[in-house]
Amino acid sequence: MPVVASIGTTHPFGTTGLLVELTALRTLGVRSVAVIAGVSAQDAAHVYARTALDPATIARQFDALATADVDACSVGALLDAPSVRAVAAGVADLAVPVVCDPVIAASGGDRLADDATVAELRTSLFPHCALITPNLDEAGLLIGAQLRTLDDVRAALGALLALGPRAVLVTGGHLTGDPCDVFADGSRVLELRAPRIPGTLRGTGSLLGAAIAARLAHGDELDTAIAIAREFVRARIASGTPFAGMRVAY
C-alpha cells in the first residue's frame, strides 16, 4: 500500500489541517504517516493560539519515518520560518512528490503565517514542491498582489511559478459564479471549471492536497491526480455535515 506523509499543524476539531488529512488519506487507499510541525487552538471563527514545534523535533520526526518508504508528501499550515526550513530539509531528503497547500490564514481570517513565514515558504519549501495549491487570497499574498478575477489569476501564474514549484493550481472557489481552478506548469495553462455546489465546507484545501498526494503515491500523472482529487473534494462538499458551527467532511 502506498504511503503518504501528512505534514502540518493540528486543529482541535480535526476539521481541517493535519487531522482531517489523516482521516481522508485512510479513505483514499493509502497508508498515512505524519510529521507534526505545529499546534493551533482555534474554532470556527478565531485562532486563539498557535505554536510551531522546534526544528530539531520536526527533523527527528522525519528521521523516524526513514523506514516508512514514503511515496508522497502533503504539506499544510506551517507556523514560523524555522519550522518551514526544517520541513523543507525533511522533504528534500525524502525525494518524493510534494504537494503544498500554503495555508496563510484560517477560514475566520486570523493569520497563521506571518510575513517571515510566507517569505520562507517562497525561498525554502516551494522549490521542493511538485505542486502548490493556493486559493485566491493565498496566491495574492505569496506574490504581493490582489487577486479577485480570473484575469487576475491568469496574470499571476508566471510569478507563482517563479517561486520554484514545478506546477501551481490556484483554486477558484472564491471567484464569483461557478468556480474555476487554474493549473499551470510553465508549458501550459488549464482552466478547470465545474458547477458550484451549494454550501461551504471547512478544510477543502487540506482535502485537495491530501487527495492529490494520495494519487501521486499511487503512481498517477499529475493531471490525473488533480482530476480525481477535485472530484473527491466535490463529493465531500456535497455530503458535508454541520459540526461546531462549521460544515465539515467527516
Render pLDDT for 121-172 as a digit per residue (tens, 0 to 9): 999 999 999 999 999 999 999 999 999 999 999 999 999 999 999 999 999 9
pLDDT at residue 44 greater than cutoff 80: yes
The mean pLDDT of 212-225, rounded to a whole number, is 98
Structure confidence at residue 110 (pLDDT): 81
- Cα gap 150→154, rounded to integer Å: 6
Which letter does DSSP use for residue 126 in this model? Answer: G
pLDDT at residue 108 greater than cutoff 90: no
pLDDT at residue 41 greater than cutoff 80: yes
Q: Residue 59 corresponds to which cell in the numbers above?
A: 527533523
The mean pLDDT of 61-77, rounded to a whole number, is 97
Give the fold, CATH level 3, of 3-248: UDP-N-acetylmuramoyl-L-alanine:D-glutamate ligase (3.40.1190)
Choose among 186, 170, 180: nearest CA to 102.
170
Domain residue spans of the chain? 3-248
**CB–CB of 113/122 below 8 Å?**
no
pLDDT at residue 6 greater than cutoff 90: yes
The length of the chain, given as a count of residues:
250
By CB atoms closer than 10 A (0-12, 13-18, 19+), residue 239 is exposed
Structure confidence at residue 212 (pLDDT): 98
User: Residue 176 — pLDDT band, cuts 50, 70, 90?
Assistant: confident
Choose among 89, 92, 95, 102: nearest CA to 9.
102
pTM of the predicted structure, to 2 decimals: 0.96
Render pLDDT for 51-62 as a digit per residue (tens, 0 to 9): 999 999 999 999
Structure confidence at residue 177 (pLDDT): 87
